[in-house]
């Protein structure tokens, strides 16, 4: 099963350079820690906002969703300055 998670984020950045720094660090750490695919999907030209998508594949959909839920919880813990405005999961 393929499970995805779409997050809309409010970032504490005032410039695109600050935004890139925040996202690059967080997304790289999420890839390594949770073995998920992560990409910025929207708001690329908006300094204080981002939309990212996390995706994982596993034969057990419940387990795959759990991995993504752990990744979201990790982001909330590790980057309390990044506010998650919305979080949507989809199982395919």
What pLDDT is recorded for position 83? 97
pLDDT of residue 13: 94
Domains and CATH numbers, the chain: 2-91 (3.30.70.1120)
pLDDT at 82: 96
Residue 78, pLDDT score: 94
- The pLDDT of residue 28 is 96
Give the integer Cα–Cα distance in Å for 92 and 15.
36
* Mean pLDDT split into 10-residue runs, the chain, 92 residues: 97 95 95 96 95 97 96 96 96 92
Count other Cβ atoms within 10 Å, centred on residue 13: 20
């Amino acid at each position: 099963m393929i499970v995805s998670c779409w997050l809309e984020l409010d970032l504490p950045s005032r410039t695109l350079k600050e935004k890139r720094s925040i996202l690059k660090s967080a997304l790289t750490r999420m890839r390594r820690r949770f073995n998920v695919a992560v990409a910025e999907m929207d708001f690329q030209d908006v300094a204080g906002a981002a939309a990212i998508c996390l995706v994982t594949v596993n034969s057990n959909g419940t387990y795959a969703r759990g991995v993504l839920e752990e990744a979201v919880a990790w982001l909330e813990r590790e980057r309390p300055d990044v506010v998650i405005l919305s979080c949507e999961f989809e199982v395919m």
